[in-house]
Amino acid sequence: MADIMIVDDAAFMRMVIKDILTKNGHNVVAEAGDGLDAIEKYKESKPDLVFLDIVMPNMEGTDALKSIMEIDENAKVVMCSSIGQQSVVTEAINNGAQDFIVKPFDATKVLEVMNNVL
């Protein structure tokens, strides 16, 4: 079972992914609503995996990703967004993200990506 942090500015989206993960035996150790909060919570919780939204207030997910990778070069991060643009996906992967999932979340896809990354 993995310790996971969920970062999304929409509380409903955090709830959806948390429900998928906890029903499958994983622990959600932290949640954040923007990139700045995500960086602090990452330092505190040191999760096995981060699901990180791209479009958020205060700090975009791609910038938070860069900071998290500076803190821990072995961090495992999966980017999440309703934006399926190839350039955004490529930028996230180039900055250290292991994978990318598109909203709305499909439980099977979330678990498959998580298992592949871990």
Q: What is the pLDDT of residues 1-20, one digit of tens each?
A: 999 999 999 999 999 999 99
> Parallel, antiparallel, or unpaired for β 27-32 and 77-81?
unpaired
pLDDT at 83 over 80: no
Look at the chain and count its residues: 118
The mean pLDDT of 79-90, rounded to a whole number, is 79
The mean pLDDT of 77-102, rounded to a whole number, is 87
Tell me the pLDDT band of 45, cut-offs 50, 70 and 90.
Answer: very high
pLDDT at position 84 is 65
Cα–Cα separations (whole angstroms), residue 75 to 33, 52, 57, 106: 19, 12, 22, 23
Q: What is the rounded distance in angstroms from the CA atom of residue 39 to the CA atom of residue 83?
A: 22
Are the beta carbons of 61 and 79 closer than 8 angstroms?
Answer: yes
pLDDT at 40 over 80: yes
Q: Does domain 3-47+65-117 have CATH number 3.40.50.2300?
A: yes
Q: What is the rounded average pLDDT for all residues in the chain?
A: 94
Give the Cβ contact number of residue 5 at 10 Å.
Answer: 24
The mean pLDDT of 84-107, rounded to a whole number, is 87
Q: Worst-scoring range by mean pLDDT, 32-36, 45-49, 83-87, 89-93? A: 83-87
pLDDT at position 97 is 97
Q: What is the rounded distance in angstroms from the CA atom of residue 73 to the CA atom of residue 81?
A: 23
**What is the 8-class DSSP label of residue 25?**
T
Domain-wise residue ranges, the chain: 3-47+65-117
